[in-house]
A and B are shown apart, each in its own frame.
Chain A
Amino acid sequence: MAQTNPPFMSGVPELLLLRLLDQQEMYGYELVRSIKNVTEEAISLGEGVIYPALHGLERNGSLKSRRKAVGGRTRVYYSVTGKGRQRLEKLQDDWRRIQGGITTALEVPAHA
């Protein structure tokens, strides 16, 4: 199981959720499965804690939700709003910048 490091993982769940929901609307259980698939289980989120993250993103206007009854169960589908797309672009830029910096640092000899 992947180890999590809160300071470094900060913002990662938000980035993943926005990225996946930008492609198609999903409900919580689908999202968890998608995260496991796209990250090849490198990132392991506690399945239940995805809901506080989703509610927080909805509350700040990045996501919107709609209820749908499917097979006798209540599904709450989430999708990205315009504000969420802007946030996603910013997070992606930040992440690429950090990733570039780390990659460069790893390529530089340790004694440099």
Chain B
Amino acid sequence: MPRPNFGELRNELLNSGISPSHVCRAVTEINEHYEDLVDAGLDDGRGRRDAEKFAVGALGDLKDISAAMREQPELKSWAWHHPKLALLVYPLACVAALPAVPLVAGVQNAAEIARWAACLLVSGVLTAFLFLVLQLSISPI
């Protein structure tokens, strides 16, 4: 039996307006639950395939889980509750965030940037030293 398609569940929940934080956590929890069920099946002496079949059956249909989440308006994102406001806020937030992108990227890659800077510094010093040696060698004493 194929493994449940948790990616499809994630997309379905996001498309139905469930808050991304709830979607992310719920999918992680359900995935872990599935793994626990498989382990329980294996502990009961089932083979891998049987254990996975048992886990899929016990977990239930992902569409039921999706429907149960959709039934709860409090789990919907603020953009779902206020779509017109979201249409205004999201583009403005993106524009406001643009100047911060290089900074964030710099912070995230700080180690790599520091390495490159150190290499440039060393190569600059080395080149300057070579020019100095060259200059001294051709300069009349």
Tell yes or no: A112 within 8 A of B by CB: no
Q: Known contacts A52-B65, A73-B35; decide if A47 and B59 are in contact (CB<8 Å).
A: yes
Given contacts A48-B59, A55-B69, A76-B29, 17 further A-B pairs with CB under 8 A are: A28-B29, A28-B33, A29-B33, A46-B60, A47-B33, A48-B61, A48-B62, A48-B65, A51-B30, A51-B33, A51-B65, A52-B71, A55-B25, A56-B72, A73-B36, A74-B32, A75-B32
- Alpha-carbon gap, A52 to B63, bound state (A): 12
Chain B residues in 8 Å Cβ range of A47: 33, 37, 58-60
Verify B29–A53 contact, CB threshold 8 A.
Answer: no
Tell yes or no: A110 within 8 A of B by CB: no
- Other-chain residue from B26, B37, B64, B71 in contact with A46 (beta carbon distance below 8 A): B64
Most buried by B among A48, A49, A73: A48
Q: Is the interface of B mostly helix, strand, loop or mixed?
A: helix
Binding site for A on B (CB under 8 A): 22, 25-26, 28-30, 32-33, 35-37, 58-62, 64-65, 68-69, 71-72, 74-75
Q: Is the interface of A mostly helix, strand, loop or mixed?
A: helix
Task: Give the contacts of A7-55 with B (CB-CB under 8 A).
Answer: 27-29, 32, 46-49, 51-53, 55
Q: List 20 A-B contacts (CB under 8 A).
A: A28-B32, A32-B33, A47-B33, A47-B58, A47-B59, A48-B59, A48-B60, A48-B65, A51-B33, A51-B65, A52-B69, A52-B75, A53-B68, A55-B22, A55-B69, A56-B75, A59-B75, A73-B32, A73-B35, A76-B28
Tell yes or no: A60 within 8 A of B by CB: yes
Chain A residues in 8 Å Cβ range of B33: 28-29, 32, 47-48, 51
Verify A76–B60 contact, CB threshold 8 A.
Answer: no
Verify A60–B35 contact, CB threshold 8 A.
Answer: no
